[in-house]
Structure 1
Amino acid sequence: MRVLLSTLAFSISGPVAACDLALALAVDVSGSVDEGEYRTQMDGLAHALRDPVVSEALVRAEAQLMLVQWTGAARQRVTIPWTQASNFDALDRFADRVAADPRVWRNYSTAIGEALEITMAAFSQVPECSRHLIDVSGDGPSNEGIEPLAVHRDLRALGITVNAIAIEQSEPDLTAYFYENVIVGEGAFVETANGFADYPARIRKKLLREVTQQTAALD
């Protein structure tokens, strides 16, 4: 981890910024998420990316976007690598890929710490971006692998913010858990979805808050 951290720190602090936001979208595909709920997440996320305000903010920021599917220990994968929203067509193609992204796993546990660690490492590929953000969704607390709090020190050192959307389908105290264990960074927050049916509206609201905060600083 020490070698990884020093490499990432060098990479992120290197070149002059050419984009204003690198946003990694980390989607829960653990065993508690059935096929319909997975589809609700992916379709809802794709629709939110196409929201007029969200899409304009992402294009103005020349944002880099990435999709990660995560579940149990050693089962975290970047399924759509960094893609720059250099224009609306590029962003629309990314949203199409999100909507069509096939599910990688179905029946495993919840390793949020490892999801954060794997996603964190990918930011070395976008050193030109001035702001680094992980947007993690989940419907349960971490129950396998390293604890999310164990990754916070490295995330802070690299200037990576983690926000979360807590899908309270069967875990009514999940928002509090995410506040205490998952999110990190200045201004980090948790958005609560009251079940998967509420996810599309909440992910749109979450993205609006994240991306408009950035572009407001550009005016």
Structure 2
Amino acid sequence: MGQHGEHRALVAARAMGSARVIRLALVLLFLSGMAQAGCRQALSLGLDVSSSVDDGEYRLQLDGIAAALNAEPVREILLLGPDAPVRLHVFEWSGPENHREIVPWTDITTPADLAHVTRILLETERRDAAPTTAIGAAILQGYAYLAPHADCWQRTLDLSGDGASNTGPPPETITEAQRPPGVTVNGLVIGAGDLRIGDARFADIKELSSYYRTRVIRGPGAFVETALGYEAFAAAMERKLTRELASMAVGALD
């Protein structure tokens, strides 16, 4: 097909948002010989566990990640090209000093690796956390987690949350000099409020999404995904993972 044809396929994958086209694009990438052995993408998922998140919502986040990772489109892309795997990591955050690793860095090379991560997520129980929301500190902690993985083609930090930062360094004060080269910070905004009050829920999401776009996300191709409440978290996480994997494929040839 040649590099130009492969590039067109990758651009189509990004534009169409089709998991099937994304998988084809990744196949072309590997077959082209441009993909070298090593880590395809280091992906760290950071979950808000502050007081705005109750026990049921906490469970929906962890179960939602497990469901999204095992959704057929995401699973197929994750397991494609085991010689250049996705390196996955999950942590939770609340106050400035409150960070806990849930899933240590794990290369997803086989179904057994994915099953291991899934088991950890499903079996993790909630622990006490600070009541505050320190997004800036979570960004800096995510940078620290990602910094050693410079061998990966891409490094991505995902922060999920349902509120603005209210303690610690404001996220907008974190400078570009503090961001490890090439690291992208994406956001997953979760709407709050009563499901019966649709207008309030949409207004909350619009405001918080704007906050994340202007103060939280950064780096190449950064974006914000939204979930209409925690009950929609799994579907939003699946969309976000699919888009990130597509971005990795396109970025590899850009």
TM bucket, shorter chain: 0.7 to 0.9
- Which residue of the other structure, out of 117, 141, 149, is the alignment partner of 2:140? 117
Amino acid at match of 1:28: D
Secondary structure of the structure 2 residue equivalent to 1:163: strand
Secondary structure of the structure 2 residue equivalent to 1:125: coil
Separation in 2, partners of 1:87, 1:213: 22
Separation in 1, partners of 2:50, 2:74: 27
- Per-residue deviation at 1:197? 1.3
* Pair 1:91-2:114 in alignment: yes
- Per-residue deviation at 1:183? 0.3
Secondary structure of the structure 2 residue equivalent to 1:142: coil
* Pair 1:188-2:188 in alignment: no
CA radius of gyration, larger in? 2
Count residues with an aligned counterpart: 204
CA contact (8 A) 1:152 1:184 kept: no
Separation in 2, partners of 1:160, 1:216: 16
Partner in structure 1 of residue 15 of structure 2: none
Partner in structure 2 of residue 55 of structure 1: 75
Structure 1 unpaired stretches of 5+: 1-15
Question: Per-residue displacement from partner, 1:28-59 (whole Å, max 9, x unpaired)?
Answer: 10100000000111101100001122122222
Bigger CA drift: 205-214 or 41-50?
205-214
Give the number of the structure with larger relative contact order, counting CA–CA contacts within 8 Å between residues 6 or more apart: 1
Separation in 2, partners of 1:105, 1:63: 30
Q: CA RMSD in A?
A: 2.0
* Pair 1:198-2:232 in alignment: yes
CA contact (8 A) 2:143 2:180 kept: no
- Per-residue deviation at 1:126? 2.2
Amino acid at match of 2:208: L
Separation in 1, partners of 2:235, 2:37: 32
* Pair 1:70-2:93 in alignment: yes
* Pair 1:178-2:201 in alignment: no
Structure 2 unpaired stretches of 5+: 1-35, 194-203
